[in-house]
Amino acid sequence: MGMMVCRAVVGTDDLALAAAIDRSRVGLSIGDLIGNPEVDVPVSDELDRLLEAEVEVAVDFTHPDVVMDNIRWCVAHAVHLVVGTSGVSEEDLREIAELMEDEGSESNVIVAPNFALGAVLAQRFAQQAARYLPAVEVIELHHDRKADAPSGTAVSIVRAIREARGRAYRGPLAESLEGARGGDVDGIRVHSVRLPGLVAHHEVIFGGEGQTLTIRHDSTDRSSFMPGVLMAVREVLRRPGLTVGLDPLLDPSPSP
């Protein structure tokens, strides 16, 4: 994902790739790694390189174990940040908001569980449907190297449904094999599938009297995330504070 973001940035006319951070490729040219040797940017393993390169916006696609440390550093050093790393919890979001307030809100942060615009629209549609149909379950399918389950997008969909619906629903919990009914997230059953060959897929199934409604989004290639990443990179400069998800970015930007 990091290299794909670098390729996407290099391919734009209004953005410039100023630094690349990675622990495993230190000293190599990111230009050579992404097939564009004209880009003379060495890979570093030190976040201080962002300051040396006068980076305005950093993009984090790392790991749940380290993402909060990276966020804390960027907020402390007034670097705007776009976070695509999965596993950022509601507790983490509260900490980010508090950190930004403590540091004088000199940096803006966008945290998005999914950068595929189709997935963002699917969540919006699910939030609308939740007002009218009483029962819902979520199925998410990902590659077998994904570090967390359920996915951040599935949890985000559950949060959106929870905010929209006026009543709780808990489906039947009886199961002859433990775990067969999936996990319970705020009363909504979430099922996680991990298989090689998958990328990122989310399905929301609503049930009502005499009917069902299925909303599904499939990312068949990681390139599907790049338009959303570039949108977030451009928007983070003019969205003060913490923005969660790309849904707010689909509407007109607030006045500077």
Looking at the annotation, which residues are catalytic? 142, 146
Cβ–Cβ < 8 Å for 1, 20: no
Task: Give the number of other CB atoms < 10 A from CB of residue 28.
Answer: 13
Q: Evaluate whether 232 touches 81 at the Cβ level (below 8 Å).
A: no
Give the closest residue to 72 by CA, choosing from 55, 95, 56, 90: 95
Per DSSP (E only), the strands in 35-92 are 43-44, 57-60, 80-83
**Could you give the CA distance from residue 199 to residue 105 in angstroms, rounded to a whole number?**
35
Beta partners for 141? Answer: 193, 201
Q: How far is CA 42 from the centre of its chain?
A: 26
Question: Token pair for residue 42?
Answer: 């060495």
